[in-house]
Amino acid sequence: MKHNEFSLKDAVAILERTPASLSALLKGLPETLTRATEGDATWSPYDVIGHLIHGELTDWIPRARHIMSGETQPFEAFDRTAQFTQSQGQSLAELLKTFAELRRENVAALLAMNLTDDDLGRGGVHPELGAVTLGQLLATWVVHDLDHVTQVARTMAKVYTDAVGPWSAYLSILRDRTQA
């Protein structure tokens, strides 16, 4: 089942739930789980929360405002590894709190834009992808959240790759996005 029509209300319903979902998944777990990765050059749950914070600061709402301003220059490129310097010294609990605060502010900012269906069709220019719309940007924000929720759960699951023994055959998650 796919939406042909993007529902801003449904998108906001997911966006406002993500901090609580990630806190419920992660808060209080030991670092054997929250600092685990899927292998070289993959991210731990801790890294993911830092990445989501950077998105709140520099990506979604700034780009939505860029489109609404009628600006024809491409968006600024998003830094996908900023969290490796920006999260330094912070606990996971602190990052989860910061993410929740920023997301609350950004959902409020989104709602305050009072976007119409016509607005969702307004265009911007992505530095790599070219022509995009505001509606596509907001749908991407939602899917990006859900992608990182799955990443966090998958990364913790893979900690148990050996521990499950023969049951591995039934647990596809242990092979999802596995590097060759």
Quote the CA–CA distance of 177 and 180 in Å, as a whole number: 9
Quote the CA–CA distance of 16 and 101 in Å, as a whole number: 11
The token duo for 27 is: 């808060």
CB of 126 within 8 A of CB of 59?
Answer: no
x-marked contacts with a second copy along 43-72 as a string, rule CB under 8 A: ------------------------------
- Count the residues of the shown chain that bind a second copy, applying the rule CB under 8 A: 63
Strands 130-133 and 123-126: antiparallel
In the set 36, 52, 96, 102, which binds a second copy (CB under 8 A)? 36
CA-based torsion, 52, 53, 59, 62: positive or negative: positive
Q: Which of 22-30, 60-68, 87-95, 96-104 is the region at the interface with a second copy (rule: CB under 8 A)?
A: 22-30
21 makes contact with a second copy (CB under 8 A):
yes
- Using CB under 8 A as the binding rule, the residues of this chain from 107 to 166 that contact a second copy are 126, 129-133, 135-137, 139-140, 142-144, 146-147, 149-150, 153-154, 156-166
Of 112 and 163, CB closest to a second copy:
163
10 makes contact with a second copy (CB under 8 A):
yes
Long-range contacts of 84-87 (CB under 8 A, 24+ apart): 84/47, 84/50, 86/50, 86/53, 86/54, 87/46, 87/47, 87/49, 87/50, 87/53
Applying CB under 8 A, which residues contact a second copy?
1-4, 6-7, 10, 13-14, 17, 20-21, 23-25, 28-30, 32-33, 35-37, 126, 129-133, 135-137, 139-140, 142-144, 146-147, 149-150, 153-154, 156-167, 169-174, 176-177
